[in-house]
A and B are shown apart, each in its own frame.
Chain A
Amino acid sequence: MDIVALGSGNPPLLILELLIRLKVREVMSTHLITATRRDTLRRIQNIMKEMRITGVPIVEHRRLFGLVSIDDIINALENGTIEEPAEKHMSTHMVVLDENMPLSLAISYFRKFSFGRFPVLNKDNEITGILTSRDINVALLHELTLELDRMETRTVTDLKTDDLHMFKVYHVGKYDFENAGKASTDIKRFLKNRGVAASIIRRVAVAAYELEMNQVVHSDGGTITCRIEPAYTEIIAQDTGPGIDNVDEAMKEGITTANEWIQSMGFGAGMGLPNAKRVANEFHIESSREEGTKVRVLIRLNEQKEGG
């Protein structure tokens, strides 16, 4: 059963990212309906009927002993063993999931084994939930709805714009490669219409684009605030996390924490921050785990940068 058609071509990056980010414990049902080893299969059959479920874990003191599935009940009815205790007929060869597994791995288990459900254990081997394909579908739908909401509210707040001034806030989403570059393109267009020299426009555009791409690639999302005055352009990139552990390292050319699929799109070469600094007249960065990362770049519009 293919819950998500990962085999067919390239799934959207958003889905891949979701499947890796979501952990089994966030998706599984935690409301467990269980039976004990001494319960009869008849009683378990009634539980299934009442609760409309197709498998019941056999659990005592949070320890998992086995699983009775609807197949076991059918067999018991055929063989006349329905009044016997669960421990005699339950399946004890089970595949279990670790609650901290990424969902992508759990999905591969659904493909590899023919089970309709997997008990989930914590690190102390206690049962904490059960995962069915339905849980996965519901969780993915929920997450995708949130993601769509976020995309729809991706907005540009125009605070003040006239011929000489512009003051706008652009919202940048994590891994939103589709919209990446919108802020930079918009800023570039404004400066071009204002007749600013091409070489200066290029520096502003490069700084804005690098900061925007940094937020798309590395942050949990953020804003690009751009203020254009007759004499300068100021860009402030503020993200919501997760912060840079070592700012000095991040400022070195070629140092990157980007993964392969980001690099396959031509980014994540570890040039972003140094390059933004290179084109700027003023550059300031601060970062912490609590506050995220804030970069301020200022480019003067009436002078060339020395050596730039």
Chain B
Amino acid sequence: MNKNYIITGLVIFVLTVLSPFWFNMITTTQAAPEPELVGKAKTEKKCVLGKYEMRANHMSLLDEWRDSVVRNADRMYTAANGNSFNMSLSTGENSCLGCHEDKAKFCDSCHTYASVNPYCWECHTNPKEIK
């Protein structure tokens, strides 16, 4: 009697531990997004930081940019590779979205995949949406 309870509990526990495995078997798993350079970014070939550095660190960079613009009115960023950029997420040709034109591909695909919900777009707008 008691042993049956224990075995039942054990089976539930094992199933719970293995849940990441069977959950992906019974649901359709979305593949990792393939980052793709489109529009201006494709031809430009110069970004603020290197590829992996940018992937890992862009949120801190944007945070520093925000402080720099809002508190010091300093809007120019000179990157390690010598290029200078306008410290802006979405305004003008020299901003992030000025070069990487497609927000859905450039921002959202990875953020959705990694379940990251940045609050950038609570203030900023996608320039494409205004037109």
A, B assembled together: no
